[in-house]
Structure 1
Amino acid sequence: MTEPTGLVSERGAEQVSDAPATAETPPPSQPSQVTFTVYQGPPLDTIRSLVASHFLVKDAFIDQYGIPTIQVAAEPPHEKFRTLLKELAQHNLIGAIRGAGDTLTVRVFPKPQRKGSRKTLNLALFFATVATVLAAGYFNWSNADLFTVLVEPSSVLTKASLFAVGLLAIIGLHEFGHKAATNHHGLDATFPYFIPGPPPVGTFGALISLRGPPENRDQLFDLGLSGPVVGFIVTIVIAIFSLLLSTTVSPATAQQLITGGATQDLGFCLPLVGATPNVSCEAPLLLIVGRILMPATTQGSLLFPNQELWFAAHIGALLTFLNIVPAWQLDGGHVSRAMFGPSGHRTATLIGLVILFVSGYLVFAFFLLIMMNLTRRGFAGVEPLDDVSPVSNSRKLLYLLAIVMLLLTFFPSPIL
């Protein structure tokens, strides 16, 4: 899917797919993201022996889809199944484990073939996005004549460049947070695909594409949370730099700016100290950073954070919020799917959509609904190969971090 910034799964033959179950795809009880070719591999007895070296086998057969299926006694499968996956990989196979009650079911498929790298496209989209973000910055500050003369007398191109550096650092490092998680777990993923966009932001974010399903819920959790955590931290850093580069103006100049409408023309939330900020349209995260780090001013003076970097941080907080919403295949959706399984993920997606509608992000909410319909998979999220083992206790605690980030980056849409 296309999302503001985040991790997605490639669709298409022999790749992570959103296609419904057919004669050539696993039925719903299997990892339905994965479209595999017809099984052509070692005989059933060989696969049974591999599975039997780790689990107590109850039955082994070829199901109606031609897929080798091994039923085993229920037990915690996490480490045993990871070892089995490595052994299956030596035969160019991959497995999935599902189950309930006293029986687990292991199904074995041909390993999906890797697609070639498309680094040329990655680079082309990156440079196109640099251009559109620069253009957006130029557009934003080309009309701020009074503010430029009295507060920040640098050229419009300098302002646009500073905005582009700040925003692309947030988006790019968010994506490389995902990439670092895939590398840590030995998963194959593309480099980021940046998405150009129109002013005033200049981009719709970026995404990386996962070329195969994660092994277990721990990996899915890490893949979902890693990007927002990095983006959240970089957003704070950019906001701090904005405050370090702040400008204080005299009472007379402040009055001239207010009378001339310069502060309103900028259109940014919390643009200064010494005036009442519009709390309703700024993320609590940035309000907190501003209150802690902004120096005091004399009576009547106004203090402006560097507006280019502050606006970049503002957009960074917005993107973090939209990504951490626990819906569908957003980053927050991956985290909730790992935490709560299929049924809990559907509930979380409904909650996420309600959050988006109530807070005014109607276009984004409708976009998600359209994507759910187009992929014909409804609320279903990315499924790990081992969908039996729960996430680790440490990750259950880290889920609180996702909630905190959601709360600290939330602010209603300006259209409300």
Structure 2
Amino acid sequence: MRWWPIRARRFPPPPPPDEMLVTEDRLRRNVEDVLVIRDRQIRGGIVVFRGELMTEPARALDLLIGRFRSLGYTPYLREEAGGVAVQALPLTETAGRSATRPNVILFSVTCVTMLLAGLGYVGAPMFDALRTAPSLALRFFAGVPFAATLLAVLVVHEFGHYFAARYHGASVSLPYFVPAPPPILGYLLFGLPIGVPFGTLGAIILMRSPARDRNSLFDIAAAGPLAGLAVAFPAIVLGLAWSSVVPMPPEGYSGFGDSLLTWGLSYLRFGHIPPGHMLFTHPIVDAAWAGLLVTALNLIPVGQLDGGRIVYALFGRRHRAVGRATVIALLGLGVAAFLWTLRAPGGDIILAIGSSLNWFVWAGLISLLVGLHHSPPLDDLSPLSWGRRAIGIACLILLVLMLPPFLFQVKSS
């Protein structure tokens, strides 16, 4: 799972009241040809002017950004009961570029952990032959089909965000990839296959400045999932072409659970799988499945996740209500998965807990770490374009299609 947070604002201590009065007067002189001022207020180091705009919000923001910057402030345009508020906040953009060495190191380590994770996925004959190679280094590359596919999805996803942000003039960091110990490492160290099956927890991009308006906020948020999907979808189609239906082993099997999308693609490729048989997937399918899962998790419409940003662009301040409803829905799906598994043939309490735990974990992580709040853009008055509204609804539909009800499935012969 990946978080894409805005770096927390750290405002300096407010200056003495006398200095704030001088600052308020300077700001007012820069606002009064843009806003018919009816009221003004000083709240700590923040100055708020209320009234009615004399021009379009986009034009007003263009004028105020340069003027406020010279005074060490950033303008925010808000809708309030009976008019508009122009909020002057201490500069919220982080100046300067951060060193790229941590990004390179984390990316390199992630490549290694993903290659190790890829050793757990078989089904690519040319690379499977490397597992018995005399050289240990050659055996290491047996994980290339899985690692290269998933890495391509993640890299394209992250740089979709990055280039969209740069296009809109927002300041962002390069991606920070997050490596995770794969199961094979746990087996070598502790004798147990403990670890993250993908070898990574995704990546993080830090926003150093607020989005300009809802349109740019939407573009930056949606660019990542849509770009990643443009890689994951053809990858899973290609991988299914190299997969096959085989007899189920006597002891049964366990594998990744199907989403509506993966089930539909599998059905189009193989039709109904006969009893006593199973789909033996190519490692590219497994990697694309992981990429679709990561994309779906990021589209959950809560807080600082990509889906939370999309929902803010769509619904504005009502995004909190959508977030609360989403957390409740996740908990409800967890209960439904538990009861479904418990009542299914061969179901037991342990299997039911395992099949539903992911929903409760996601709801808990969202509530405790991600949160329901999303910071507004500079211009919260200009509406989202109708084309973007349609794409936003499509993104939420994609979430339903890509999120599997059960992360894992266990079947017996």
Matched, 1:83 2:62: yes
Equivalent residues in 2 for 1:346-361, closer than 5 Å: 346-357=320-331, 358-359=333-334, 360=356, 361=359
State the partner residue of 1:367: 365
Please give the root-mean-square deviation of Cα atoms over the aligned residues, in Å. 3.4
Aligned CA distance change for structure 1 residues 152 and 88 (closer, same or farther; 3 Å)? same
Matched, 1:118 2:116: no
SS of the residue corresponding to residue 123 of structure 1 reads helix
Aligned CA distance change for structure 1 residues 314 and 355 (closer, same or farther; 3 Å)? farther
Matched, 1:103 2:83: yes
Aligned CA distance change for structure 1 residues 328 and 297 (closer, same or farther; 3 Å)? closer
Q: How many angstroms apart in 1 are the aligned matches of 2:96 and 2:397?
A: 38
Aligned CA distance change for structure 1 residues 369 and 48 (closer, same or farther; 3 Å)? same
State the partner residue of 2:111: 130
State the partner residue of 1:155: 130
State the partner residue of 1:268: 255
CA contact (8 A) 2:113 2:199 kept: yes
Q: How many angstroms apart in 1 are the aligned matches of 2:54 and 2:322?
A: 28
State the partner residue of 2:152: 169
State the partner residue of 2:265: 289
Q: How many angstroms apart in 2 are the aligned matches of 1:414 and 1:282?
A: 8
CA contact (8 A) 2:330 2:363 kept: yes
Matched, 1:384 2:384: no
Equivalent residues in 2 for 1:11-410, closer than 5 Å: 11=8, 13=10, 43-59=23-39, 61=40, 63-73=42-52, 77-88=56-67, 91=70, 92-112=72-92, 113-138=94-119, 140-141=120-121, 153-156=128-131, 157-199=140-182, 200-244=197-241, 246=242, 254-255=246-247, 258-259=248-249, 265=253, 267-269=254-256, 281-292=257-268, 294=269, 307-342=282-317, 344-357=318-331, 358-359=333-334, 360=356, 361-371=359-369, 379-410=372-403
Q: CA deviation at 1:9?
A: 0.8
Q: CA deviation at 1:297?
A: 12
Structure 1 residues without counterparts, runs of 5 or longer: 15-21, 26-37, 270-280, 373-377
Q: CA deviation at 1:353?
A: 1.4
SS of the residue corresponding to residue 387 of structure 2 reads helix
State which drifts further: 110-119 or 204-213.
110-119
Aligned CA distance change for structure 1 residues 307 and 158 (closer, same or farther; 3 Å)? farther
Q: How many angstroms apart in 1 are the aligned matches of 2:363 and 2:19?
A: 39
Q: CA deviation at 1:205?
A: 0.6
Q: How many angstroms apart in 2 are the aligned matches of 1:268 and 1:11?
A: 40
Using the size of structure 2 for normalisation, the TM-score is: 0.76
Query: Deviation per CA, 1:207-227, whole angstroms, max 9, x where unpaired?
Result: 100001112222222222111
Select the structure that is richer in helix.
2
The count of corresponding residues between Structure 1 and Structure 2 is 359
State the partner residue of 1:30: none
Q: How many angstroms apart in 2 are the aligned matches of 1:86 and 1:46?
A: 14
Aligned CA distance change for structure 1 residues 205 and 103 (closer, same or farther; 3 Å)? same
Structure 2 residues without counterparts, runs of 5 or longer: 132-139, 183-196, 335-355
Q: CA deviation at 1:229?
A: 1.1
Q: How many angstroms apart in 2 are the aligned matches of 1:125 and 1:345?
A: 33
Q: How many angstroms apart in 2 are the aligned matches of 1:64 and 1:298?
A: 66
2:294 partner amino acid: L
SS of the residue corresponding to residue 317 of structure 1 reads helix
2:328 partner amino acid: V
Q: CA deviation at 1:153?
A: 4.6
Query: Deviation per CA, 1:287-326, whole angstroms, max 9, x where unpaired?
Result: 333344x378999998967521000111111111111111
State the partner residue of 2:136: none
1:289 partner amino acid: L
1:314 partner amino acid: W
2:156 partner amino acid: L
Aligned CA distance change for structure 1 residues 209 and 298 (closer, same or farther; 3 Å)? closer
SS of the residue corresponding to residue 5 of structure 1 reads coil
Q: Percent same amino acid among aligned pairs?
A: 25
SS of the residue corresponding to residue 236 of structure 2 reads helix
Q: How many angstroms apart in 2 are the aligned matches of 1:208 and 1:295?
A: 39
Q: CA deviation at 1:179?
A: 0.7
